[in-house]
Amino acid sequence: MKLFKWTGPLEDAGNLPEEARASLMNNDEEVLVLQEAETTTLDHAVEYDILDQSGDLPSGRFAVLNNIPVTEEGRETFEQRFNNRARLIEAEPGFVAIRVLRPVHSGTYVILTMWEDEESFKNWQESQAYGKAHAKRGTKEGVDQRPNIFSGPSFVTTYKK
């Protein structure tokens, strides 16, 4: 299964297929369509392989996309880190879904989490589960400290229904 991500200005959303327009999310800068399928009808969509998944994306109302540029030589180490994740997020109040996405034509992975609302996401960031999931960050055991894994800084984008 693949996930296709389309982003663009609101005025371009009118040209999308009707089923895609039904799932639009937006922020102050653009709109987002996520489509899980083997192929897509969305022009200029970014294609990802789904490495790990839990939950039902369409049920969420607040999407958080952690965009992480990874070097070619860092891919295996990065993917291994997510294959061994603790899976604590799934038990958090307001959690709806997660997708760990490998880029097909670029170097930027996406960790997509879907929430009932923005408050649920912020509460998770303050939780023990978040602390445990990120406990190694900044330490010598953390993947962020290994050389040649990341090709640039990560960045987060959020969208609401």
CATH code (residue 121)? 3.30.70.100
* H or E segment to which residue 81 belongs: helix 75-83
Average pLDDT over residues 107-123: 98
Give the SS3 label for residue 15: coil
Q: Which amino acid is at 159?
A: Y
| Number of structural domains found in the chain | 1
Adjacent-strand bridge partners of 95: 115
pLDDT category of residue 57 using cuts at 50, 70 and 90 = very high
Average pLDDT over residues 69-96: 92
Return the pLDDT at 126: 92
Kindly report the pTM of this predicted structure.
Answer: 0.91
Most confident of 18-22, 60-64, 151-155: 60-64
pLDDT category of residue 139 using cuts at 50, 70 and 90 = low
- pLDDT of 116 over the 60 cut: yes
Return the pLDDT at 127: 87
Residue 64 structural domain: 2-160
Say if residues 26 and 10 touch (Cβ distance below 8 Å).
yes
Say if residues 68 and 25 touch (Cβ distance below 8 Å).
no
